């Protein structure tokens, strides 16, 4: 088995992607400590969930007294955003030489940071090596997130509250920069501009659903406009 692309994926994850996601996970670990979770629970939350918004929803639902069914559906709907990413990635890595069960492992690693870094480079990678590359990239982000969550739990008492708040916003800013970097087609540029215009308007009209509906309208309009292409 050629390990070069596993190593390349790991190499591309090191640096800003791991730091950006890791700082947010560090903050999450500190939040778990302040919410009276233990270290083992902190480890499990990232090891099995690995989707920061869903993990925060899980903790908030537990703290508010929700039962297991409440937690399941709250996390399920929060993390439904990962389904389109999975549908996008899987055809680009599917290879007859890869055993089907291995794709289930790969799906566990799919999150925004891995997805946005992968789509910026995958066309430059040989089709037969994309599985190995994404496994190296996303797997590295996953295991580092587990480690940063535990570090945040352990060292939360020596990090100031204001610094933790700053760390939370590092990852969203990184997503924004990567999104702008990947605006390489007119379709994506139009979607981005429409979303910027529609989001504040719809937010004031239908507060809770404004952001999601703005994205849905923008993406749907551009899809039909450029459908023939």
Q: What is the DSSP string of 17-83?
A: HHHHHHHHHHHHHHHHHHTT--HHHHHHIIIII--HHHHHHHHHHHHTT--HHHHHHHHHHHGGGHH
CA–CA dist 19, 15 (Å, integer): 6
Residue-wise pLDDT for 93-115, tens only, equals: 988 888 989 999 999 999 888 98
The DSSP call for residue 209 is G
CB-neighbour burial class of residue 157 (10 A; exposed 0-12, middle 13-18, buried 19+): exposed
Q: Nearest to residue 149, comparing CAs of 43, 13, 15?
A: 43
Answer with the residue of higher pLDDT: 142 or 176: 142
CA–CA dist 22, 211 (Å, integer): 26
| Cβ atoms of 41 and 168 closer than 8 Å | no
Question: pLDDT-based confidence at 174, cuts 50/70/90?
Answer: confident
Contacts of 182-189 with C-beta under 8 Å, sequence gap 24+, read: 182/116, 182/119, 182/120, 187/222, 187/226, 187/229
Whether 170 shows a pLDDT value over 90: the answer reads no
CA–CA dist 175, 111 (Å, integer): 12
Whether 180 shows a pLDDT value over 80: the answer reads no
CA–CA dist 85, 52 (Å, integer): 15
CA–CA dist 17, 174 (Å, integer): 8
Q: Nearest to residue 23, comparing CAs of 145, 137, 140, 133?
A: 145
Distances in Å between the Cα of 103 and the Cα atoms of 54, 106, 108, 134, 135 are: 22, 5, 9, 11, 10
Residue 49's contacts (CB-CB under 8 Å, 6 or more residues apart) are: 55, 58, 75, 79
CA–CA dist 95, 79 (Å, integer): 26
Q: Specify the pLDDT at position 163.
A: 78
Question: pLDDT-based confidence at 46, cuts 50/70/90?
Answer: very high
Answer with the residue of higher pLDDT: 161 or 14: 14
For the chain, give the mean pLDDT. Answer: 87
Whether 154 shows a pLDDT value over 90: the answer reads yes
Residue-wise pLDDT for 125-134, tens only, equals: 999 899 999 9
């Amino acid at each position: 088995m050629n390990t070069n692309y596993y190593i390349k994926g790991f190499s591309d994850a090191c640096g800003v992607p791991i730091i950006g996601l890791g700082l947010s996970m560090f903050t999450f670990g500190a939040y778990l400590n302040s919410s009276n979770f233990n270290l083992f629970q902190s480890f499990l939350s990232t090891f099995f969930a690995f989707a920061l918004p869903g993990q925060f929803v899980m903790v908030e639902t537990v703290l508010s007294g929700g039962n297991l069914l409440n937690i399941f559906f709250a996390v399920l709907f929060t993390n439904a955003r990962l389904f389109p990413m999975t549908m996008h990635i899987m055809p680009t890595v599917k290879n007859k030489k890869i055993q089907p069960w291995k794709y289930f492992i790969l799906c566990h690693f799919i999150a925004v940071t891995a997805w946005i870094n992968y789509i910026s480079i995958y066309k430059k990678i040989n089709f037969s090596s994309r599985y190995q590359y994404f496994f190296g990239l996303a797997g590295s982000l996953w295991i580092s997130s587990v480690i940063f969550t535990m570090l945040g739990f352990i060292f939360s008492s020596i990090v100031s509250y204001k610094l933790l708040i700053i760390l939370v916003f590092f990852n969203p800013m990184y997503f924004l920069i990567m999104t702008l970097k990947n605006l390489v087609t007119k379709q994506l540029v139009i979607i981005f501009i429409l979303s910027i215009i529609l989001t504040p308007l719809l937010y004031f009209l239908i507060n809770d659903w404004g952001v999601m509906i703005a994205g849905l309208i923008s993406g749907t309009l551009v899809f039909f406009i450029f459908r023939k292409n």
